[in-house]
Amino acid sequence: MRDVAIIGAGQVKIDEHWDVSLRHLAFKAVKAALADAGVAQVDALYVGNMLSGELAGQEHLGALVADFAGLRGIEALKVEAACGSGAAALRVGYVAVAGGLADIVVVVGVEKMTDMLGGDTTAALALAADGEYETSQGLSFVSVNALLMRRYMYEYNCTHQDFAPFAVNAHRNAVNNPYAMFRFPVTADRFVDAKMICDPINLLDSSPICDGAAAVVLAPAEMARSLNAAPVRIAASAIGTDALAIHDRRDPLVLDGGVISTRRAYEQAGVGPGDIDLFELHDAFSIMAALSLEAAGFAEKGQGVRLALDGEIGIDGKIPVATMGGLKGRGHPVGATGIYQIVEVVQQLRGLAGENQVKNARLGMAQNIGGSGATVVTHILERVE
């Protein structure tokens, strides 16, 4: 197996892009990543996307985006793993390059969510859950997370306000990210008073519905140096899975998929949680941030919220999370999110994160979650000295 490096990264500002279609969004990100990498020849393109069929009336994205990006003829596929589609596509690209089947691979995550009305988008997002036994009962995807949050608060005796640091931290970091959707700070008071969405989840627990695309270019590490001045090595790439439905999990408050995924990633990279300098976690809802910190070994069971309350998730904390705004502040265009996370870790490891720079960042971890934890994709990236 070959070592794989990221030699280029590009992203589109996350927003409500009324004037731009899905193919244009994807193309913009691909173009930016290829320009950053300084390459024009590509062997394969993998598109991470969850809902193009439901929300944009378009499937068959591999060939569509390849053609639109001027790459007609190359191998191209769409990869789907609900909200984990972006990182799942990266995993496929990684396998292709590591296995020696391709040299230069572009991975783009793209999602266009704002063309439809609220009820349609809500129904589409719920496709990540179990269709026969969860969504058929009228569950929305938010409510799946609300069930987890309510139980977490009950078992660990914490309040809704205890989750405020996740939103406060994410928004604080988004202020300095020109690609973020919400570039304004929020206070703990505002968090508590936010509009209720699905008790106990309120608006400031939740990531927004939005449009976006981000892309990275992969190459074998031995080629990377000659192609690009600042390659970043993929030290680990791993997927773990669990039951789709919460009621089928061993313990609903433990992300077993996350435990498996991070354990594999740590083993592959030969590191542990204490070695990770920053963690781009999947804070689609604040409860998922807490559960992710626990599954990845940064906090004991039930202590994820405590870690945030102790101020350890900030840029200068023990484990900085959502360093460019996270899903909450930067935005969560579902199938694109996993690649935004990777682009941001690359920024950090290249020392290009500006005011949000984590000092001496050498190892960064990104974790993209499909559904409420059924697919968990973890990548560890390493700065190349």
Partner 1 sequence: MSVPRNWRLQQQRYRLIGEVCEGCGAKIFPPRDVCPECEAPAKTPFAFSGRGEVYSYSTIYHPPRGFEEFAPYTVALVKLEEGPMLTAQLTDVDADDVCIGMPVEMVTRKIQACGDSGAIIYGYKFRPSRFDPLPSG
Residues at the interface with partner 1 (CB under 8 A): 118-120, 122-123, 126, 132-140, 142-143, 146-148, 150-151, 154, 196-201, 243, 245-248, 252
Interatomic CA distance for residues 307 and 298, integer angstroms:
8
- In the bound state with partner 1, the residue whose beta carbon lies nearer, of 60 and 247, is 247
CB 356 within 8 A of CB 364: no
CB of 303 to partner 1, least distance (A): 20
Q: How far is the CB of 197 from partner 1 (least distance, A)?
A: 7
Residue 222 in tokens:
């031995």
Residue 257: Cβ-neighbour burial (10 angstroms; 0-12, 13-18, 19+): buried
Judged by beta carbon, residue 134 or residue 211, the one nearer partner 1 is: 134
Structure tokens at 246: 């919460």
Nearer to partner 1, 250 or 359 (CB): 250
Among residues 22 and 253, whose Cβ is nearest to partner 1?
A: 253
Question: Which residue type does 334 have?
Answer: V
CB-nearer residue toward partner 1: 198 or 346: 198
Q: For residue 31, give the nearest of 4, 91, 71, 58 by alpha carbon.
A: 71
| 135 vs 292 by CB, closer to partner 1 | 135
**CA atoms of 157 and 293, how far apart (whole Å):** 18
What is the nearest approach in angstroms of partner 1 to the Cβ of residue 30?
32
Q: Would you put residue 42 in left (φ > 0), alpha (ψ -120 to 50) or beta?
A: beta
* CA distances from residue 215 to 12, 197, 230, 267 in whole angstroms, order as listed: 9, 32, 16, 26
Among 323, 284, 285, 23, residue whose Cα is nearest residue 170 = 323
* Residue nearer to partner 1 on the CB measure, 1 or 117: 117
Nearest to 160 by CA among 129, 200, 193, 127: 200
- DSSP summary character for residue 285: B
Show Cβ contacts of residue 169 under 8 Å, excluding neighbours closer than 6 positions: 308, 313, 314, 321, 322, 326
The torsion angles phi and psi of 206, rounded to 5 degrees, stand at -110, 140
Q: Is 130 exposed, middle or buried (0-12, 13-18, 19+ CB in 10 A)?
A: buried
User: CB 39 → partner 1: shortest distance, Å?
Assistant: 43
Question: Catalytic residue positions?
Answer: 83, 332
Six token digits for residue 203:
């608006």
* CA distance linking residue 201 with residue 284, whole number of Å: 11
